[in-house]
Amino acid sequence: MRLNKILKNTLLVLTACLVLSACATKKEVATDIKGQMQGDVYTGTDTVEYLADGVPDRVFFATNESILTTASRETLRAQAAWLRKNPNINVVLEGHADERGTREYNLALGERRANAAKDYLMTYGISSDRITVLSYGKERPVDSGSNPLAWSKNRRSVTVKAN
Protein backbone atom coordinates (compact mmCIF):
# COMPACT_ATOMS: atom_id res chain seq x y z
CA MET A 1 0.00 0.00 0.00
CA ARG A 2 1.42 3.31 -1.10
CA LEU A 3 -0.33 5.28 1.60
CA ASN A 4 1.09 3.09 4.29
CA LYS A 5 4.53 3.67 2.91
CA ILE A 6 4.03 7.42 2.95
CA LEU A 7 2.75 7.17 6.48
CA LYS A 8 5.72 5.11 7.61
CA ASN A 9 8.16 7.58 6.09
CA THR A 10 6.38 10.48 7.72
CA LEU A 11 6.52 8.76 11.05
CA LEU A 12 10.18 7.94 10.68
CA VAL A 13 10.92 11.58 10.02
CA LEU A 14 8.72 12.64 12.90
CA THR A 15 10.36 10.21 15.30
CA ALA A 16 13.80 11.28 14.13
CA CYS A 17 12.90 14.93 14.78
CA LEU A 18 11.72 14.14 18.28
CA VAL A 19 14.85 12.19 19.08
CA LEU A 20 17.08 14.91 17.67
CA SER A 21 15.37 17.68 19.55
CA ALA A 22 15.59 15.60 22.71
CA CYS A 23 19.30 15.21 22.17
CA ALA A 24 19.63 18.92 21.61
CA THR A 25 18.06 19.87 24.94
CA LYS A 26 20.57 20.83 27.56
CA LYS A 27 21.20 18.41 30.32
CA GLU A 28 19.78 19.87 33.47
CA VAL A 29 22.74 20.09 35.77
CA ALA A 30 21.71 19.77 39.35
CA THR A 31 24.87 20.89 41.04
CA ASP A 32 25.49 22.89 44.14
CA ILE A 33 23.15 25.90 43.94
CA LYS A 34 24.12 28.65 46.39
CA GLY A 35 25.24 26.03 48.86
CA GLN A 36 21.71 24.69 49.17
CA MET A 37 22.22 21.39 47.41
CA GLN A 38 24.75 18.64 47.49
CA GLY A 39 24.56 16.36 44.50
CA ASP A 40 20.86 16.93 43.98
CA VAL A 41 19.87 16.57 47.63
CA TYR A 42 18.58 19.69 49.33
CA THR A 43 20.79 20.82 52.21
CA GLY A 44 19.23 24.21 52.97
CA THR A 45 16.82 25.08 55.75
CA ASP A 46 14.25 27.33 53.95
CA THR A 47 11.37 24.93 54.25
CA VAL A 48 12.40 23.07 57.39
CA GLU A 49 10.23 23.36 60.48
CA TYR A 50 11.09 22.07 63.93
CA LEU A 51 9.29 19.48 66.05
CA ALA A 52 11.26 20.75 69.04
CA ASP A 53 14.44 22.70 69.60
CA GLY A 54 17.12 21.09 67.41
CA VAL A 55 14.69 18.54 65.93
CA PRO A 56 14.13 19.27 62.22
CA ASP A 57 10.88 17.83 60.83
CA ARG A 58 12.07 16.65 57.42
CA VAL A 59 14.68 14.79 55.41
CA PHE A 60 15.50 15.15 51.71
CA PHE A 61 16.25 12.72 48.90
CA ALA A 62 18.07 12.54 45.59
CA THR A 63 16.05 12.16 42.36
CA ASN A 64 14.30 8.78 42.17
CA GLU A 65 16.08 7.71 45.38
CA SER A 66 14.96 6.76 48.86
CA ILE A 67 18.42 6.41 50.40
CA LEU A 68 18.97 8.40 53.59
CA THR A 69 21.95 10.74 53.50
CA THR A 70 24.26 11.26 56.47
CA ALA A 71 22.42 14.52 57.26
CA SER A 72 19.04 12.75 57.03
CA ARG A 73 20.15 10.06 59.46
CA GLU A 74 21.27 12.73 61.90
CA THR A 75 17.87 14.43 61.63
CA LEU A 76 16.07 11.13 62.18
CA ARG A 77 18.21 10.27 65.20
CA ALA A 78 17.21 13.63 66.70
CA GLN A 79 13.55 12.79 65.94
CA ALA A 80 13.94 9.35 67.52
CA ALA A 81 15.43 10.88 70.68
CA TRP A 82 12.59 13.39 70.83
CA LEU A 83 10.00 10.61 70.34
CA ARG A 84 11.59 8.55 73.11
CA LYS A 85 11.34 11.55 75.42
CA ASN A 86 7.70 12.05 74.41
CA PRO A 87 6.19 8.55 74.48
CA ASN A 88 2.64 9.85 74.05
CA ILE A 89 3.30 11.48 70.72
CA ASN A 90 2.54 9.53 67.55
CA VAL A 91 3.68 10.69 64.13
CA VAL A 92 2.72 10.55 60.47
CA LEU A 93 5.59 10.33 58.03
CA GLU A 94 4.49 12.13 54.88
CA GLY A 95 6.47 11.06 51.83
CA HIS A 96 6.71 13.28 48.76
CA ALA A 97 8.18 13.31 45.27
CA ASP A 98 9.05 16.10 42.85
CA GLU A 99 6.95 16.90 39.78
CA ARG A 100 9.31 15.17 37.33
CA GLY A 101 7.69 11.77 37.42
CA THR A 102 4.43 10.07 36.57
CA ARG A 103 1.74 10.51 39.20
CA GLU A 104 1.28 6.86 40.12
CA TYR A 105 4.96 6.02 40.30
CA ASN A 106 5.46 9.10 42.49
CA LEU A 107 2.79 7.90 44.92
CA ALA A 108 4.78 4.69 45.34
CA LEU A 109 8.06 6.59 45.60
CA GLY A 110 6.66 8.86 48.34
CA GLU A 111 5.62 5.76 50.24
CA ARG A 112 9.07 4.25 49.82
CA ARG A 113 10.77 7.42 51.10
CA ALA A 114 8.53 7.70 54.16
CA ASN A 115 9.22 4.03 54.86
CA ALA A 116 12.96 4.59 54.68
CA ALA A 117 12.50 7.21 57.42
CA LYS A 118 10.20 4.90 59.37
CA ASP A 119 12.68 2.01 59.24
CA TYR A 120 15.42 4.27 60.56
CA LEU A 121 13.26 5.56 63.42
CA MET A 122 12.44 1.95 64.30
CA THR A 123 16.12 0.97 64.47
CA TYR A 124 16.42 3.75 67.06
CA GLY A 125 13.76 2.21 69.22
CA ILE A 126 10.52 3.79 68.02
CA SER A 127 7.67 1.31 67.82
CA SER A 128 5.96 0.97 64.45
CA ASP A 129 2.63 1.42 66.29
CA ARG A 130 3.52 5.07 66.77
CA ILE A 131 4.27 5.70 63.10
CA THR A 132 1.85 6.03 60.21
CA VAL A 133 3.12 6.37 56.67
CA LEU A 134 1.27 8.58 54.20
CA SER A 135 2.39 9.27 50.64
CA TYR A 136 1.37 12.37 48.72
CA GLY A 137 3.44 11.64 45.63
CA LYS A 138 3.79 14.90 43.70
CA GLU A 139 0.48 16.32 44.99
CA ARG A 140 1.77 18.61 47.74
CA PRO A 141 4.99 20.39 46.75
CA VAL A 142 6.35 22.99 49.20
CA ASP A 143 8.00 24.94 46.40
CA SER A 144 5.99 25.57 43.23
CA GLY A 145 9.11 26.29 41.17
CA SER A 146 10.08 24.32 38.09
CA ASN A 147 13.82 24.12 38.72
CA PRO A 148 16.28 21.70 40.32
CA LEU A 149 16.38 23.58 43.63
CA ALA A 150 12.59 23.59 43.99
CA TRP A 151 12.42 19.90 43.07
CA SER A 152 15.07 19.09 45.69
CA LYS A 153 12.96 20.77 48.41
CA ASN A 154 9.97 18.74 47.32
CA ARG A 155 11.67 15.32 47.46
CA ARG A 156 11.15 14.82 51.17
CA SER A 157 9.72 12.91 54.07
CA VAL A 158 8.12 15.11 56.70
CA THR A 159 7.45 13.95 60.25
CA VAL A 160 4.15 15.40 61.46
CA LYS A 161 2.65 15.07 64.93
CA ALA A 162 -0.47 12.94 64.72
CA ASN A 163 -1.90 13.90 68.13
Partner 1 sequence: MTKKILILLFILIPINANALIEVDITRGNLNPLPLAVSPLSIDEESRKGFEKILKKENIGSEISNIVENNLRISGLFNPLDKKAFLQAPDIANLKPRFEDWNLIKAQALITGKVNYIDNKLRVEFRLWDVLAAKEMMALAFTTVPNNWRRVGHIISDKVYERLTGEKGYFDTRIIYVSEEGPKTQRIKKLAIMDQDGANNKFLTLGNELVLTPRFNPASQMVTYLSYFKNMPRVYLLDIETGTQEVVGDFPGMTFAPRFSPDGKKIIMSFAKDGKSDIYTMDLENRIVEKITNHPSIDTSPSYSPDGKYITFNSDRSGYQQIYVMNNDGSDVKRISFGNGLYGTPVWSPRGDLIAFTKLHKGKFYIGVMRTDGSGERLLTENYYQEAPSWSPNGRVLIFYRETKTNSKGEGFSAKLWSIDLTGYNERQIKTPTDASDPSWSSLLSN
Note the residues at the interface with partner 1 (CB under 8 A): 3-4, 6-7, 10-11, 14-15, 18-19, 21-23, 25-28, 64, 66, 99-105, 107-109, 111-112, 115-116, 119, 133-135, 139-147, 150
Q: Pick the closer one to partner 1 by CB: 102 or 127.
A: 102
Q: Considering the complex, what minimum distance in angstroms separates the CB of residue 31 from partner 1? A: 15
Q: Pick the closer one to partner 1 by CB: 20 or 53.
A: 20
- Let me know: does 122 contact 133? Beta carbons within 8 Å: no
Q: Considering the complex, what minimum distance in angstroms separates the CB of residue 30 from partner 1? A: 10
Environment class of 38 (CB within 10 Å of its CB; exposed 0-12, middle 13-18, buried 19+):
middle
Taking Cα atoms as reference points, which of 59, 127, 42 lies closest to residue 94?
A: 59
Distance, in Å, from the CA atom of 159 to the CA atom of 50, rounded to the nearest integer, reads: 10
Q: Considering the complex, what minimum distance in angstroms separates the CB of residue 145 from partner 1? A: 4
- Let me know: does 128 contact 65? Beta carbons within 8 Å: no
